[in-house]
Structure 1
């Protein structure tokens, strides 16, 4: 039983040490891919549309202080 606990502790420490660097590597690869696509002139896969504020017309407020 002691061996199992020691094994789990080693795995937890390894995950804590390797997790942030693996996440950073994945993030860097994504950014590099986006830069290559932009340099090649391709459009972004998730193009955002112009945001509309509202379909109703706005009325000035009549509140006074």
Structure 2
């Protein structure tokens, strides 16, 4: 078994500490790169279109609810009309 003296032990602890900080700094970047590559892959797949180009399948049901504009759409329409009137 190898016996470490105090100086070697302090050096080992310091090196592990620096490596730990380096890992904490690098990991967010690695996660971001992985996420960007996943999004790029999804965008490429979406550009190619669905594999089945015949349209919706017969098993797929449409929603029975009526489509009502959201509050954000209503607000934006109101703002646009006010802008047109004031100019």
Asked if TM exceeds 0.5, the reply is yes
1:9 to 17, 34, 37: 17
CA–CA distance in structure 2, aligned partners of residues 23 and 2 of structure 1: 32
Give the TM-score normalised by structure 1.
Answer: 0.61
Query: Unpaired segments of 5 or more residues in structure 2?
Result: 1-8, 52-59, 61-87
- Give how far 1:3 is off: 1.2
CA–CA distance in structure 1, aligned partners of residues 14 and 23 of structure 2: 14
**C-alpha root-mean-square deviation of aligned residues, in Å?**
1.6
Q: Which has the higher contact order (CA 8 A, sep 6+)?
A: 1
- Match in the other structure for 1:20: 28
Query: Unpaired segments of 5 or more residues in structure 1?
Result: 44-49, 51-65
- Give how far 1:11 is off: 0.8
Runs of 4+ in 1 over 4 A off after TM superposition: none
The CA deviation string for residues 5-52 of structure 1, in whole angstroms up to 9 with x for no partner, is 011111111011111111011000000000001101145xxxxxx8xx
Paired positions, count: 44
Q: Which has the higher helix share?
A: 2
